[in-house]
Structure 1
Amino acid sequence: MIKLFLMPLLMVNKQGQTQLPKYCEHVDINKHTLLETEVIKTCLSRSSERDFKLLYRQYAALFIVVGVNDTENEMAVYEFIHNFVEVLDAYFSQVSELDMFNLDKVHIILDKMLLNGCIVETNRTRILAPLLILDKTSES
């Protein structure tokens, strides 16, 4: 089990605009913007003067950033990021910044995959099942 630290997930476009912040630990609302700005600057400049590591992958114009402590398995976190993108791709057909208008559904996916900063589900079928049921009921 992987325990993600401070800010488990942040999606950012190339212009540095936050598309999706997901916090598992409490962070004061006033500090959100400051923390996200620092994280974006750190990723874009690739400097590391933090007490946590920033792991990120770029998919087209979208950066997915995960903050972890020094004891985490980096490869497992990179696999989590890739699995998250595959789940988004399966649901939205093609992951891009333009698909992020359905942030409520992205949060449902993240909530199904993460619980208190721990990865609890990686099976795409089980992750998407609640959304598919929700879509069917909304069509009826």
Structure 2
Amino acid sequence: MHYTVCKELNSVILSVSSQINFVCLISRQGKVRLTKWYSTYSQKERSKAIRELSGVILSRGPKLCNFVDWKGHKVVYKRYASLYFCICIDEEDNELEALEVIHHFVEILDRYFGSVCELDLIFNFHKAYYILDELLIAGELQESSKRTIAKLISAQDNLVEVAKEEASSLSNIIAQATK
């Protein structure tokens, strides 16, 4: 009985989850710091969407709600320090769930970078993309546990360090052999 209840609950949760069309981080000056597209957009459509949305979002007052209707979709955004974290979802999707995904992403970035700032994302954009890829796959929330994502990121960092050490030692061997 417990298994059937969990199975039914799991299918309900899966049917409620929303499809994210894209994620975008924009600075207060309108510079794009990160984008991830989960729906098909041409390069021209992407540029136009970013230009339109950054104009709309940056011009909104701080007291207005964090949801914007845009071309049959909803854009949910939240400002953290000097960055606007934006998620485009379908019109029928839950805005509060999208806000939770944004907050979850920011918490993971904070945990990794130690109070993340715009410069962290500029100089370590590959890490920000890696963290986002651990969080979302194909526009769906993949992992909700911050601890699990932290372990995966740590394992990735360890692999990179091992690869660097191996490349360095290989370079030393080649340098000694060619003397």
The structure with the larger Rg is 2
Q: Which structure 2 segments of 5+ residues have no match?
A: 1-13, 61-67, 163-179
Q: Does the aligned pair in 1 maintain the 2:76–2:87 contact within 8 Å?
A: yes
- The amino acid that maps onto 2:99 is Y
Structure 1 residues 137 and 63 mapped into 2: Cα distance closer, same or farther (>3 Å)? same
Cα contact 2:28–2:58 (8 A) shared by 1: no
Q: Give CA-to-partner distance per residue, 1:82-119, whole Å, 9 cap, x none.
A: 11000000001011111112111111111111111111
Task: State the partner residue of 1:117.
Answer: 139
| TM-score, scaled to structure 2 | 0.71
Instruction: Indicate the residue corresponding to 1:10 in structure 2.
Output: 24
Task: Please report the TM-score for the alignment, with normalisation by the length of structure 1.
Answer: 0.90
Distance in 2 (alpha carbons) for counterparts of 1:125 and 1:49: 34
Q: Once the 2 structures are TM-superposed, how far is the Cα of residue 130 of structure 1 from its aligned partner?
A: 2.4
Give me the whole-angstrom Cα distance separating, in 2, the residues matched to 1:60 and 1:33: 24
Cα distance in 2 between the residues matched to 1:31 and 1:137: 37
Cα distance in 1, alignment partners of residues 161 and 34 from structure 2 = 26
Corresponding residue for 1:40? 54
CA distance in structure 2 between the aligned counterparts of 1:58 and 1:116, rounded to whole angstroms: 24
Give me the whole-angstrom Cα distance separating, in 1, the residues matched to 2:69 and 2:103: 23
Q: 1:51 aligns with which of 72, 89, 95?
A: 72
Gaps in structure 1 of 5+ consecutive residues: none
Q: Report deviation, 1:49.
A: 5.0
Size of the aligned set, in residue pairs, is 139
Give identity over the alignment, percent: 29
Q: What CA distance in whole angstroms lies between the structure 2 residues aligned with 1:111 and 1:38?
A: 25
| Structure 2 CA distance for partners of 1:65 and 1:136, relative to 1, 3 Å | same
**Which fold has the larger relative contact order, with Cα–Cα distance below 8 Å and residues 6 or more apart in sequence?**
1
- Seen in structure 2, the aligned counterparts of structure 1 residues 102 and 131 have a Cα distance that, compared at 3 Å, is same
Alignment of 1:1-140 (within 5 A): 1=14, 2-7=17-22, 9-46=23-60, 48-100=69-121, 101-140=123-162
Matched residue SS, 2:72: coil
How far is 1:48 from its partner? 4.2
Q: CA deviation at 1:76?
A: 1.1
Equivalent residues of 2:134, 2:143 under 8 A apart: yes
> Which of structure 1's runs of 4+ aligned residues deviate more than 3 A?
45-49, 137-140
